[in-house]
Amino acid sequence: MKYLKLTIILLILTAINVNAQTRKNNFEISKSIDIYNNVLRQLNMYYVDEINPAELNESAINAMLESLDPYTVFIPESQIEDVKLMTTGEYGGIGSLIQYSDGKTMISEPYEGFPAAKAGLIPGDIFLEINGMDVRGKMTNEISELLKGTPGTKVTLKMQRLGEKEPIVKELKREKIKIDNIPYSTVFDNGVGYAILSQFTKDCARELKDVIVDMKKNHELKGFILDLRGNGGGLLNEAVEIVNMFVPKNKLVVYQKGKVAEHNYNHYTQHEPLDLDIPLVILVNEGSASASEIVAGSIQDFDRGVIVGQRTFGKGLVQNILPMSYNTQIKVTVAHYYLPSNRCIQEIDYSKKNKKTADTLAKADTLGKPFHTANGRVVYEGHGIQPDVKMEPELMSTITTHLYAKNLFFKYANKFYSEHKSIKSAKEFQISDKVYDDFMQFVKNEGFTFTSNSEKEIKEIEKTAKLEGYLDEIQPILDQAVAKIEEEKTKDLIDNRDEIADLLKYEIVSRYYYQKGRIIATLEDDPELKRAFEIILNQEEYNNILKGTK
């Protein structure tokens, strides 16, 4: 009885504290709104120049939200269509990626089968006018807004094309553009199925299920690889549906916990699975986030498949989009999510992000609290999903990085496309010595130069040596070092031929076979895909990984 009385007293005290905190917060909110309104009025009355209250208001809101986390954002009316694109993968437009380079906005990659491609627009075509409006010098976001519109409406483009003296004019009819959730899928000659999932938008789970059902119908599948590399996430319910394809009904896939009770929710599998036995590998990297991590992490916790690649991004937060006045919205982080092992894989604690970065850096490579999978394997909270089979990421050489940064792969591919009507299939095409020599000459003609980190360090040494009075003595040695570095830099295009040729191949192939061709060419040289094959086709290794005995 004494214990019961004590419990009741504690509950009453807790309720009193909560109500007191709520009243305090409500007062602070009212106080802050009053101060903000007065500041805005005073600025409007007395500031020396005319102000734009709407712009100031949006700046204030954005600054406030930036102090919380990167995912809690204000969505003005002008960006509502962008939200629709994130959730549905659909928008009205011409169907093309665009980029800004050398002071010009241009087509970078038209989507196969959509208005831009059907009208014959190609990468490198520069925007001059849109519906009679001069758009030279405008940035990609401005051009994008002008290109989007209601499906069925027309847009007239004046473009400048490489090798053409006169501009070309194209009239396009906008369409509903649906970005492919699954840009490529296949069954390889070894009997292993593969699908790359680029995003978690509406119906992606159904689309993936249809792909697998078709594979199982037409092939004797020895295994299946789901590629989530670079997939930044999307709709949580679609992630749950994908997990449900491989684990039994009524299993807890993920649960979320927030401040408000309505955001505490358990997500269970609701259907009979598609396949409980097929060997499964999921490919991930540092760009795999959110819904991708739910799929990979849940499959790992159930010991249903092997995760291969690099540590994932580490986003264990859930956002809801809430309607606001004047057709605006706010995307708010409302909960953390937890995987079947009860771990949360959130990388950064945003409530403590203002602490000294030294603390954060010190913990970056440490493991969080341990949890256990269904088979008893140890997994850890925080720091994303740690793969079962870790692969070192392929890092580009210094010269390749600079070639890429200066858009020279893109520019040469445009030149190559203007000079060659066709190439071999995406799988067969290779960069010949003749093509590579032509690329090296192209790079030279473009005046390509770069400053290596070694040269930057020598410049710093020169500055320090001058201050200390040593420069005259060591200058000959430094000059020799610079000359030697320049000599080595001229050889970099030859020494890194294989790496450079691969990137060049992918870019050229995309000119003829679009995004799908680029993927096919990339997979031919993919070490993580090759490792996934080895695991699936070696049943003993596959089982040992899932048992934790390897």
Q: What is the pLDDT of residue 362?
A: 41
Domain ranges of the chain: 93-177, 184-318+336-393, 398-529
pLDDT exceeds 50 at position 463:
yes
Residue 494 neighbours by CB under 8 Å, 6+ apart: none
- Residue 468 burial (C-beta neighbours within 10 Å; 0-12, 13-18, 19+): exposed
3-class SS at 524? coil
CB-based contact 355:286 (threshold 8 Å): no
What's the mean pLDDT in 391-398? 92
Map 361-398 to HEC letters: HHHCCCCCCEEECCCCCEEECCCCCCCCEECCCCCCCH
Torsion over CA of 468, 469, 475 and 481, rounded to 10 degrees? Answer: -10
What's the mean pLDDT in 310-320? 94
pLDDT in tens, 203-250: 999 999 999 999 999 999 999 999 999 999 999 999 999 999 999 999
Map 43-106 to HEC letters: HHHHCCCCCCHHHHHHHHHHHHHHCCCCCCEEECHHHHHHHHHHHHCEEEECCEEEEEECCEEE
Please give the Cα distance from 95 to 107 (Å, whole number). Answer: 10
What value, to the nearest 5°, has the Cα angle with vertex 41 and ends 39 and 43? 70
Closest of 194, 259, 200, 275 to residue 227, by C-alpha:
194
Q: What is the pLDDT of residue 366?
A: 59
CB-based contact 318:335 (threshold 8 Å): yes
Please give the Cα distance from 312 to 294 (Å, whole number). Answer: 11
pLDDT exceeds 80 at position 353:
no
CB-based contact 220:107 (threshold 8 Å): no
Which sign does the torsion angle of CA 395, 398, 402, 404 carry?
negative
Closest of 445, 443, 477, 449 to residue 461, by C-alpha:
477
What is the topology classification, in CATH, of domain 93-177?
Pdz3 Domain (2.30.42)
Please give the model's pTM, rounded to 2 decimal places: 0.87
Q: What is the pLDDT of residue 12?
A: 52
57's tokens:
């208001």
Q: What is the pLDDT of residue 358?
A: 40
Q: What is the pLDDT of residue 490?
A: 79
Closest of 276, 286, 290, 294 to residue 391, by C-alpha:
286
Q: What is the pLDDT of residue 210?
A: 98
What's the mean pLDDT in 140-163? 93
The CATH number that domain 184-318+336-393 falls under is 3.90.226.10
For the ranges 45-54, 153-162, 224-233, 416-425, the lowest mean pLDDT is seen at: 45-54
Which active-site residues does the annotation give?
Answer: 290, 315
pLDDT in tens, 71-107: 999 988 878 777 777 777 788 999 999 999 989 999 9
Confidence of residue 27 (pLDDT cuts 50, 70, 90): confident
Please give the Cα distance from 436 to 522 (Å, whole number). Answer: 18
Pairing of strands 90-93, 306-309: unpaired
44's tokens:
């409007």
What's the mean pLDDT in 324-353? 89
User: How high does pLDDT run on average in the chain?
Assistant: 90
75's tokens:
């969505």
Confidence of residue 325 (pLDDT cuts 50, 70, 90): confident
Please give the Cα distance from 299 to 279 (Å, whole number). Answer: 12
- Residue 174 burial (C-beta neighbours within 10 Å; 0-12, 13-18, 19+): buried
